[in-house]
Structure 1
Amino acid sequence: MTSLKTPKLSTYHKGDLFEQKVFDFLSRELEAGNLYFAPQFTTIQRKPKYFSREREDYIVFDISIEVRLPGFDAPSMIMLVECKNYSSTIPINDVEEFSSKISQVTGHNAKGMLVTASAFQASALNFARNKGMAVIRYLDEGNFTWELSRSLLMGAISASERRSKEILNALIAPSFQPAIYTTYAATPQGYTNTLAGVFQSLFSDLRKVIAGYQQLIQPQPTCKHRVAFLSLQQIEARATEVLVPHWLHQWSCRSGEDN
């Protein structure tokens, strides 16, 4: 009897599937109003092409997100997205090539975002940030481990520093498994777990030069519910506060029954 084996995906098909996955994710986030810019002024497309004067031809990108002021045909801002799904870390050569393509899209306020399923080499991460690009490691919810590295988090002074260390670890550690978020990103302004944070960081410099910029931004809730970080000692103390009265009550009831 011949056993059936699942056909191995080629590098092209593996990359194409990841690109579609990223496109679907960005589309959902746009519809939900989580991309910083308001959905009614923003469009997303796959395999768009933009003219390069240096090539005298078009460059095809994986994904683009365009933001337009009301009544204008030409986009005011463009986010160009490159998707990579490697079994190894992302080398600096890939980031340099993507940066070169972005620089050729003249006449637009174009920014770059490199999205991967794997970790980045440190040189690639540094190059991207120094070139004004964002890098994102997008991980599948199915790989969640639901635990945090205590040694990583406890060594930080503040909650903000703990968060930055966790995101950096997610970006450069090949074996990293997500605990809470699917998105781990670095921008020239710092680290973030949200796409809104990525867009805000990359396009904040255009606030003063684009008339009507403010109306393009998606309003955000003024109040956010956060879960505070608690140390092991704090968790044990809270648990004791809850459990001791219960134990005393049980002991009292049993003592009454014995008497």
Structure 2
Amino acid sequence: MNTVAKGDRFEDKVFANIKGLVSSGYLGLNPSCCRLFQNKGYYSKDRDSSIVVDISIEIWMPGANTWSMLWVCECKDYSKPVPVDDVEEFKAKLNQMAGVNVKGLFATSSAYQRGALNYSRSNGIGLLRLLPDEQIDMVLYHMTPEDFKQLEQQRKNEYKRALVNQAHRTEGAGFYSVYNGFVYHTWGSLLKSYMSEIKGEVPQQSV
């Protein structure tokens, strides 16, 4: 599989997870107010042209003629750790598109350089790593409730190693994310954190 096809497959995997959560209403937002796109362009006054992003979610108020919030995800399927330069470039693109009305998440299958972790924390950018399948060891033996508790604690402790160690292996789901100083272990918990920041600005999902 060539590099482009490999990258497209990773982007499609990320998009499918996000789309499933938004469509289900799990995030607490009305799905009809959320519009999802892949490879859509957003105008940059600095460039006088559009910046095309991998994945975007537009949050629309009823009757509005434009979105009120833009959530952008950059996807990279690298064979080496993501350098801080890539995260800085992503932040620059976000600033050109919408300023305070845009939030960003950087998703990759590889590790991050420590400088990338520090920069993202200082600039409010979420980082996500999805381990490749070959680095996930399946747990097939019977586990007691106490075993599960211990495993969950191990996963909480391993997140930083997983984000910076390219060869990291796990018996978990292979999902690691940090945003605004908090650690997230599932798509649902991560996206709920993003969306909770705008719940007062958009219609809620009716229960």
Give yes or no for the alignment of 1:201 onto 2:198: no
Q: In 2, Cα distance between the equivalents of 1:128 and 1:23?
A: 21
Q: In 2, Cα distance between the equivalents of 1:198 and 1:191?
A: 8
Equivalent position of 1:145 in the other structure: 137
Question: SS of 2:177's equivalent?
Answer: strand
Identify the structure with the greater strand proportion: 2
**Are the structure 2 counterparts of residues 172 and 144 from structure 1 closer, same or farther at C-alpha, using a change threshold of 3 Å?**
same
Query: Which among 153, 173, 181 is matched to residue 181 of structure 1?
Result: 173
Q: How far did 1:130 drift? A: 1.1
Give yes or no for the alignment of 1:113 onto 2:101: no
Amino acid in the other structure paired with 1:123? G
* Structure 1 unaligned blocks of 5 or more: 1-7, 148-157, 220-259
Equivalences for 1:58-97 in 2 at 5 Å? 58-97=50-89
Q: How far did 1:181 drift? A: 2.2
Q: How far did 1:126 drift? A: 1.3
Give yes or no for the alignment of 1:57 onto 2:49: yes
Equivalent position of 1:12 in the other structure: 4
**Are the structure 2 counterparts of residues 80 and 200 from structure 1 closer, same or farther at C-alpha, using a change threshold of 3 Å?**
same
Give yes or no for the alignment of 1:32 onto 2:20: no
Once the two structures are superposed, residues 91-136 of structure 1 have per-residue CA deviations (whole angstroms, 9 ceiling, x without a partner) of 0010000010000012671100111001111110111121111010
Q: How far did 1:42 drift? A: 1.4
Q: In 2, Cα distance between the equivalents of 1:34 and 1:140?
A: 26
Amino acid in the other structure paired with 1:14? K
Q: TM-score, normalised by structure 1?
A: 0.66
Give yes or no for the alignment of 1:216 onto 2:200: no
Q: In 2, Cα distance between the equivalents of 1:200 and 1:167?
A: 19
Structural RMSD (CA) = 2.7
Equivalent position of 2:115 in the other structure: 123
Question: SS of 2:97's equivalent?
Answer: coil
Amino acid in the other structure paired with 1:135? L
Q: In 2, Cα distance between the equivalents of 1:36 and 1:92?
A: 33
**Are the structure 2 counterparts of residues 18 and 160 from structure 1 closer, same or farther at C-alpha, using a change threshold of 3 Å?**
closer
Is the CA contact 1:90–1:118 (under 8 Å) kept in the aligned structure 2?
A: yes
